[in-house]
């Protein structure tokens, strides 16, 4: 990879104007908004890295730019696209849109690292946010990215807003595993499930995010190996990440009895403090868990066990990242939990 490629910044979902591979989901949101009877809350679910946050920002951007569902610009619209130079688009990209609240993990000023969860105090801000006077268009929109990172107390705080939403309120809840969310939250949201992207769409999204050419051999290879995830494709553009990914996939394929020698090799590969290696590892682990949580065939006790495994491994990963803990025992612990889940 050239120095120019390494220095190229990747666009964040709030900055991304294009959406690839989710036309049906986009049309579902647009049709609902045109009707004037759109649900106040959407649970947008699917595997990690496929564009759920990008779609959420795209919908929020459209609603704030076109606050009247009956306006001709809305009724004649064929997509949720908003020009990047539109004032709403510019304010959202700059995190300066007053009528949009984003709940996500934030940096702990004392450690310089992200908190392990979305703080409950931040979630409670939604009450005052939705209770205050809206701006020019009258809409108040909150994006939770992701609801998987809420603790029970935070989920209950969010539930209070979901139960009694004010007029012209819109909540967009991003979830990598919607089957594990509280039933009380699921019941108050319209569910919109996104599927992994086709390789061509992944390549388009990588190009839009990085500015690299779709004809770039590395982009095509990463897109083909990413299992429909743009996040994985971006990680795979790093050669070290490719080897790590294959190691993890091989071990996952061996579940419930992964090769101990391969686990030791994984521990070596995860060594150090590079956050990207940990992120790549957890992306694949969460993808495996999300596929089982979302396949629709699991009995309730099985779903509860898988959900507990999700909580356990992601909590451990957050602690490893926050406190710079040893990663070899962490890798063994994660695969021990996955093996137990696979046997269940």
What domain range includes position 156?
13-193
Q: How far apart are CA 274 and CA 341, in angstroms?
A: 28
Measured between alpha carbons, how far is residue 100 from residues 68, 92, 96, 113, 186 in Å?
Answer: 17, 8, 9, 24, 22
Query: Domain check: are 181 and 295 in the same one?
Result: no
Detail the DSSP E strand segments found in 111-158: 140-145
Rg (CA), the chain: 20
Per the domain annotation, does 325 fall within a domain? yes
Number of domains in the chain: 2
Per the domain annotation, does 213 fall within a domain? no
> Which one of 123, 158, 193 terminates a domain?
193
Residues 6+ apart with CB under 8 A from 146: 52, 53, 104, 173, 174, 175, 176
Predicted confidence pLDDT, tens digits, the chain (344 residues): 334 444 446 789 999 989 999 999 999 999 999 999 999 999 999 998 999 999 999 999 999 999 999 999 999 999 999 999 999 999 999 999 999 999 999 988 888 888 888 999 999 989 889 988 776 668 999 999 999 999 889 999 999 899 988 889 999 999 998 888 889 999 999 999 999 999 999 999 999 888 899 899 999 999 998 889 998 898 888 777 788 888 999 999 999 999 999 999 999 999 877 877 888 899 899 989 988 887 667 788 888 899 999 999 998 998 898 888 899 999 999 999 999 999 87
- Which residue is listed with tokens 């150090």? 272
Structure pTM?
0.85
Sign of CA dihedral 301, 302, 308, 311: negative
Per the domain annotation, does 6 fall within a domain? no
- Which residue is listed with tokens 């809420």? 150
Per the domain annotation, does 219 fall within a domain? no
Alpha helices in 164-238 (DSSP H): 183-186, 199-210, 217-225, 230-236
């Amino acid at each position: 990879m050239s120095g120019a490629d390494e220095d190229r910044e990747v666009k964040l979902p709030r900055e991304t104007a294009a959406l690839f591979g989710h036309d049906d989901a986009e049309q579902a949101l647009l049709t609902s908004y045109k009707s004037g009877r759109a649900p106040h809350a959407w649970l947008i679910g699917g595997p990690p890295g496929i564009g759920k946050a990008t779609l959420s920002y795209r919908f929020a951007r459209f609603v704030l730019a076109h606050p009247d569902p009956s306006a001709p610009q809305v009724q004649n619209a064929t997509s949720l696209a908003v020009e990047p130079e539109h004032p709403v688009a510019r304010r959202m990209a700059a995190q300066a849109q007053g009528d949009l609240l984003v709940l996500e993990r934030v940096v702990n000023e004392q450690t310089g690292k992200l908190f392990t969860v979305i703080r409950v105090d931040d979630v409670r801000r939604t009450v005052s946010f939705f209770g205050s006077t809206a701006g020019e268009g009258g809409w108040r929109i909150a994006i939770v990215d992701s609801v998987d990172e809420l603790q029970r107390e935070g989920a209950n705080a969010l539930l209070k807003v979901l139960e009694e939403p004010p007029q012209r309120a819109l909540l967009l809840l991003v979830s990598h595993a919607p089957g594990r969310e509280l039933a009380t939250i699921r019941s108050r949201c319209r569910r919109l499930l996104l599927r992994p992207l086709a390789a061509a769409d992944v390549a388009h999204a990588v190009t839009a995010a990085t500015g690299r050419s779709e004809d770039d051999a590395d982009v095509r290879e990463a897109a083909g190996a990413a299992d429909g995830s743009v996040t994985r494709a971006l990680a795979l553009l790093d050669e070290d990440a490719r080897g790590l990914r294959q190691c993890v996939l091989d071990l996952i394929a061996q579940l419930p009895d992964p090769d101990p020698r391969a686990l030791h090799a994984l521990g070596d590969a995860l060594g150090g403090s590079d956050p990207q290696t940990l992120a790549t590892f957890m992306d694949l682990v969460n993808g495996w868990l999300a596929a089982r949580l979302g396949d629709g065939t699991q009995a309730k006790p099985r779903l509860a066990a898988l959900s507990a495994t999700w909580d356990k491994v992601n909590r451990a990963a957050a602690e490893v990242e926050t406190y710079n803990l040893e990663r070899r025992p962490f890798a063994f612990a994660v695969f021990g939990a996955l093996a137990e889940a696979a046997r269940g």
